[in-house]
Amino acid sequence: MFLRLFSAGLAVLALCGGATAKPLVGNPGAVSFTLAAEPIEHFRKGEATARFGALEFLGGLVLRADNANFGGISGLAVEPDGQGFLAVSDAGLWMSGRFVEKDGRLAGIEQAAVGPILGPLGKPLAAMGRDDTESVGLRRGTAFVGVEGVNEIWSFPFSRDGMMARGQPVAVPAGIKLLPDNRGLEALTPAPAGSALGDALVAISERSGGDDEPTKGFILGGPLSGEFLLQRKSPFDITDIAFLPGGDLLVLERRASFMGGFGMRLRRIAGASIRPGAVLDGPVLLEAGPESEIDNMEALGISHDEAGRTVITLMSDDNFSFLQRSLVLRFTLVEE
């Protein structure tokens, strides 16, 4: 037990920057590479349990690659069929690929590629002081990327140009620019089609205030544009969000401490409650700590399987550190 906690503590030190080194962003364009994937059979270490409340574990992967630009996954968008995906790392890089399944469980990733995220003139965002790309969402072929530190949102014609897409800044309210540098714009997702939010983006700060204060959220565009608050349940901070098919919002949260290691939590927020001036909260669907196969869980995507069930995909940010792991975890939402 002590060794497990000590190892978890070292990994948290990596999160704080003690053993990390972001890669140098290379030339524009996608670079293909091969990912080695070790299966994760059980979510809880040493336990064969697959059901966790309303969620059922569909397997996971520990990912490794020789490519120095692989890692640091901080935002994820999954295609509706659950196979194709687009991710961003906190080094200003895209990553794309396709999930491979066998007998309904994750078996690997194919067609993996990485490339720098580009600005309006084709220069990498990382070279413009905008490398901390923390979130990504897709809507009708356009990729929206949230950048922490400078607290900006950029749009990219990704379906047309792929990793050669040049970004354009999206106008944001003054409240977003006032968020903390290192706990600012962490989570971003387009509103679901047909919802009361219209053609809006929803963005949430990692932690905009004190330890016991709610964090700020924003509805950008649409008929309900404005600010709201999301209750935080300390010591957890917000790392990603995605809408479920019925319109509810799924929130991924992360905690980190030297003694307790990493923890993660999934919370469900009623979609109808998302409006300006609201203080949002909702039930916890899943909470896990070092007893489970987790790391620094930062990325969340929603899709469907062939049976029409909602599938939740999580990925971890290893901070490009040898003390951490790049994980993919999958669950299906059993109880709608």
Predicted pLDDT at 13: 52
| Residue 334 contacts residue 51 (beta carbons within 8 Å) | yes
What average pLDDT score do residues 109-131 get? 97
Q: What fold does the segment set 2-333 form as a domain?
A: Tachylectin-2; Chain A (2.115.10)
Residue 46 half-sphere exposure, CB side, CA atoms within 13 Å?
A: 2
- Give me the mean pLDDT over the 198-206 stretch: 97
Q: What was the pLDDT predicted at 224?
A: 97
Q: What value does the mean pLDDT of the chain take?
A: 93
What pLDDT score was predicted for residue 5?
43
Inform me whether the pLDDT recorded for 137 exceeds 60: yes
- What is the structure's pLDDT at 14? 52
pLDDT-wise least confident of 19-23, 127-131, 243-247, 321-325: 19-23
Give the pLDDT confidence score for residue 40 in this predicted structure: 97
Give the CA distances from residue 208 to residues 4, 64, 290, in Å, rounded to whole numbers and listed in that order: 32, 34, 26
Residue 227 has pLDDT above 70, yes or no: yes
The pairing of beta strand 84-89 with beta strand 215-220: unpaired
Q: What is the largest CA-CA distance in the chain?
A: 53
144 versus 335: the higher-pLDDT residue is 144
Please give the average per-residue pLDDT across 89-95, as a whole number: 97
Dump pLDDT digits (tens) for 11-62. 555 555 444 678 877 789 999 999 999 999 999 999 999 999 999 999 999 9
Residue 292: pLDDT band with limits 50, 70, 90: very high
| Ranges of each domain in the chain | 2-333
DSSP designation for 163: G
Q: What is the mean pLDDT of residues 117-141?
A: 96
**Helix (H) / strand (E) containing 71:** none
Residue 246 pLDDT greater than 50, yes or no:
yes
Structure pTM?
Answer: 0.94
Of residues 178 and 18, which shows the higher confidence score?
178
- Using the predicted structure, report yes or no on whether residue 264 has a pLDDT greater than 90: yes
